[in-house]
Amino acid sequence: MSVATILAELEKLGCDNDRIQNDKSKRYLNITHDTGVFLAWLVNAVQAKTVLEVGTSNGYSTLWLASSVTQTAGHVYTIERDRTKAKEAAANFDRAGLQSRITLLVDEAFSALSRVPAPVDLIFLDADRSAYLDMAPRLYELLKAGGVLVCDNALSHADELADFVNWVQSQAQLSSCLIPVGKGELLIYKAPADPDRHDYAASASKS
Ligand SMILES: C[S@@+](CC[C@H](N)C(=O)[O-])C[C@H]1O[C@@H](n2cnc3c(N)ncnc32)[C@H](O)[C@@H]1O
């Protein structure tokens, strides 16, 4: 089955399920279609070969990333702690014929991150936002200099991201900007280490 057909099917499933599902742990909480388009574009723009996603759900966003890394001969590592959702994701990866491009780590993100090989060119963060601050040093370590981290829900749940954003702003090599796509995407760029470099965009965003 084509990736486009599966993506369209998962969009409908996500909307139908999440509209009537009262138990939040059973909602798919997928990214929006335009966020998927944006992520696929970004994989190509930065020529990402190694991509890390935290928060797989049933694999909707992973399929956008993985279908794009086929053009860079890359690989996607994706982390999900919910076994039922991980099983659904694995089935969707098989149906799309993209299983060889994806490593699904079924675990708590904090421990799974130690099994992801550095450097990572692009990180997509879409999980339990209260855990981001604890994960931040490892994510920073994994992200290559010149790499990009994208954080979903930057507009829809800005208050819950405040501590993480403060941490980002305290790091000399990181600069960020907010893109009003979907639920709001915070783009964080890790600059190469250079003691003589002055980043005007980063200092403006910190003032
Ligand atoms: C918003 S959903 C991800 C949606 C997915 N990115 C998509 O667009 O299709 C968040 C997922 O992250 C998982 N999750 C949340 N916190 C996690 C953690 N600390 N470790 C591993 N998985 C986590 C949840 O079980 C849930 O399936």
The count of domains in the chain is 1
Mean pLDDT score of the chain: 94
Picking from 57, 62, 54, the residue whose alpha carbon sits closest to that of residue 24 is 57
> Domain of 116?
3-206
CB burial of 175-189 (b: ≥16 within 10 Å; e: otherwise) equals bbeeeebbbbbbbbb
> By 3-state DSSP, what share of the chain in percent is helix, strand and coil, each rounded to 5?
50, 20, 30
Does 108 contact ligand 1 (Cβ within 6 A)?
yes
Does pLDDT of 194 surpass 80? no
CA of 191 to the centre of ligand 1 (A): 27
Please report the atom of ligand 1 found closest to the CA of residue 59: 9
Does 128 contact ligand 1 (Cβ within 6 A)?
yes
Please report the atom of ligand 1 found closest to the CA of residue 131: 19
- The residue assigned the tokens 């999900």 is 80
CATH number at residue 85: 3.40.50.150
User: Considering only CA atoms, which residue is closest to atom 14 of ligand 1?
Assistant: 127
Does pLDDT of 200 surpass 70? no
Q: What is the pLDDT of residues 13-24, one digit of tens each?
A: 999 999 999 999
Confidence at 57, pLDDT banded by 50, 70, 90? very high
Please report the atom of ligand 1 found closest to the CA of residue 107: 21
Q: Give this prediction's pTM.
A: 0.94
Does pLDDT of 160 surpass 70? yes
Does pLDDT of 78 surpass 70? yes
Cis preceding-peptide flag for 117 (omega within 30 of 0): no
Does pLDDT of 207 surpass 70? no
How confident is the model at residue 59, as a pLDDT?
98
Q: What is the pLDDT of residues 40-49, one digit of tens each?
A: 999 999 999 9
Does 30 contact ligand 1 (Cβ within 6 A)?
yes
* 43 Cβ neighbours under 8 A, 6+ residues apart: 51, 65, 68, 69, 71, 72, 74, 122
Q: Report residue 197 as tokens.
A: 């470099």
